[in-house]
Amino acid sequence: MAARLAADAVLLVHLAFILFAVFGGVLLLWRRWLAALHLPALAWGVWIEATHGICPLTRLENHYRALAGDAGYGGGFIEYYLLPMIYPAALTPDDQRNLAIAFVLWSVAVYGVVAARCRRSARVEDQD
């Protein structure tokens, strides 16, 4: 039971990391210092996708699932709803490369908006 809960916890942390890596740039509109956390997450996500790598969180989750005696990802809510988002079926190397490119383009756009807002607010402060 503990190993299954640990595997589910790792899966939730993994999902949170993925969401932060993809959408965390938007948080910079709120707190610019989050770039110090987001940029490494962004770099890691792009690197994993571009190199077709396996995230250590995946290995950790699989380790706990094996300890729990799970043969696969059948079962409860977490496995049914969250796993397909993190581990899509039939993901090809071309798909991964395209995801990495889309990830970079999205992030450049978000950081561009953040930079434009920072410049705009700096100009307003200079005028005061």
Report pLDDT for 73: 52
Q: How confident is the model at residue 128 (pLDDT cuts 50, 70, 90)?
A: low
Instruction: Decide if pLDDT at 51 tops 90.
Output: no
Report pLDDT for 77: 45
Angle at 84 between CA 82 and CA 89, to 5 degrees: 165
Instruction: Decide if pLDDT at 61 tops 90.
Output: no
Report pLDDT for 118: 84
Angle between helices 93-127 and 35-51 (to 10 degrees): 160
Token pair belonging to 41: 């997450």
